[in-house]
Amino acid sequence: MALGGSAVVLASGGLAAGIAHGLRIGDPFGQGGRMLGAALVQAPTTWTPAGIAMLLFGLLPRLTALAWAAPVAFVLLGQLGELLQLDDWVRSLSPFAHVPRTLGGPMDLGPLLWLGIVTAVLLLAGMATFQ
């Protein structure tokens, strides 16, 4: 549910925003597809906290509620990291720091691949420790 649900929410939000913008400028299908892609690039970053939660559930099931600390920390690093003048390596601990720019230039899929691998390892380790 965490993986599929977040992908559906991102896809529907991106598609709706793209179609709305496209209707305004006269290109609903082009903008819909463009914004759908831009929204789905965010999916691996939303899956990483789910992987952390799965690992925590497998290792320490009574402390699973602590999994909420990960997305809170990621948001704080992203929103306040520069303001607090944190080092780049600290800000890069957030998966959201690795989302490639999709609109207006070439896109590097390397960070998404690494986020996918990290998330898969977290999910598989969580399932293995749970069993």
- Residue 78 pLDDT: 83
Tally of domains in the chain: 2
The residue range of the domain holding 58 is 43-131
What is the C-alpha to C-alpha distance for residues 8 and 13, in angstroms, rounded to an integer?
8
Residues 87-99: b if buried by 16+ CB within 10 A, e if exposed: eeeebeebbbbbb
Q: What is the pLDDT of residue 12?
A: 96
- Give mean pLDDT in consecutive 10-residue pieces for the chain, a chain of 131 residues: 93 95 92 90 90 92 90 88 86 84 73 90 92 73
Show the beta-strand stretches assigned E in the chain. Answer: none
The answer on 35 and 82 residing in a single domain is: no
Asked if 62 and 115 sit in the same domain, the reply is yes
Check residue 104 and give its pLDDT. 67
Do residue 47 and residue 35 come from a single domain? Answer: no
